[in-house]
Amino acid sequence: MSFLESCKKVSQKIIEILHQKDNTLFEKIDKGFGGDVSMKIDLIAEELFIREFSKSGNIFSEEIGFIDKGLDYTYIIDPIDGSFNISNGFPYYGSSVALQNRKGEIEKSFIINLATGDYFYKDKINRIENNLFYNKIQTSSLNEMILFEKAYANVDLCQKLAENSIKYRSPGALALSLALAHRCKAVIFKGEIRDFDISAGIYFNNHLNIKIENNTILVAKDKDDFKELERILF
């Protein structure tokens, strides 16, 4: 089974579990490798991805850390992106997987919004946006949205953006926001930068203007927008 089909298969299983209306899925277990408190659904989703991919590559996942199989490829996995959203019924949460070769290069990536079924896939040849359940038709939009992930922890940057009359939204799932960067004016993040949060999303939109420096990420489609935000943020 191809990387894409495997990711879709696991995603569908996670969605089926989420629709069981089992509140114990949101029970807090312990801190995972990445430092965040894990919920039961985080561990269930991670186990599904590990079962699917551990025979063909090493695993580097947010909850369990690195599983060294001595293989040439590593799957970098965020089993549930946006745990706070998922436990509070806010439909902006997902999973992301990046396939990294021995040289540290990303060769394939997959990000999905588990609430909607929208997924984003890229390899060396293909770049696909679609939906698990129907053929997705893209609707037109103004692309004026700026997504500022972890805004709540960066009051100084919020103030700078306010002083420049720049509006933004902070939906709370970094991998998803990075996957949507091509549809937005920009995506901003400041905080601890972890491979399982950004690898898949950055690879999917690596044709855009990107700067990662001093624990800050800026991604923008338009060069003028990028330069304006770069002046404010860095």
For 171-217, how does the pLDDT look when each residue is reduced to its tens digit (9 = 90+)? 999 999 999 999 999 999 999 999 999 999 999 999 999 999 999 99
Selection from 209, 210, 169 nearest residue 177 by Cα = 169
Q: Which residues pair with residue 59 across a beta bridge?
A: 67, 75
Asked if pLDDT for residue 103 goes beyond 90, the answer is: yes
Strands (E), 54-117: 58-61, 65-67, 74-81, 94-100, 106-113
pLDDT at 113: 97
Residues in the chain: 234
Selection from 80, 67, 88 nearest residue 37 by Cα = 80
Rg (Cα) of the chain, in Å, rounded? 17
Q: What is the number of other CB atoms lying within 10 angstroms of the CB of residue 163? A: 9
DSSP character for 134? S
**pLDDT digits over 6-21, tens only?**
999 999 999 999 998 7
Asked if pLDDT for residue 154 goes beyond 80, the answer is: yes
Residue 105 one-letter amino acid:
E
Tokens of 160: 């700078």
Asked if pLDDT for residue 1 goes beyond 70, the answer is: no
DSSP-derived 3-state class of residue 143 = coil
Tokens of 116: 């909607």
Asked if pLDDT for residue 139 goes beyond 80, the answer is: no
Question: Torsion over CA of 230, 177, 91 and 157, rounded to 10 degrees?
Answer: -20
Selection from 43, 52, 14 nearest residue 132 by Cα = 14
pLDDT at 140: 67
Whole-angstrom distance, CA of residue 211 vs CA of residue 220: 9
Asked if pLDDT for residue 145 goes beyond 70, the answer is: yes
The lowest-confidence range among 72-76, 119-123, 142-146 is 142-146
Contact (Cβ atoms closer than 8 angstroms) between residue 58 and residue 67: yes
Q: What is the number of other CB atoms lying within 10 angstroms of the CB of residue 220? A: 24
Mean pLDDT of 69-87: 94
Selection from 172, 19, 199, 177 nearest residue 82 by Cα = 172
Whole-angstrom distance, CA of residue 97 vs CA of residue 61: 9
User: Is-above-0.85 flag for pTM?
Assistant: yes
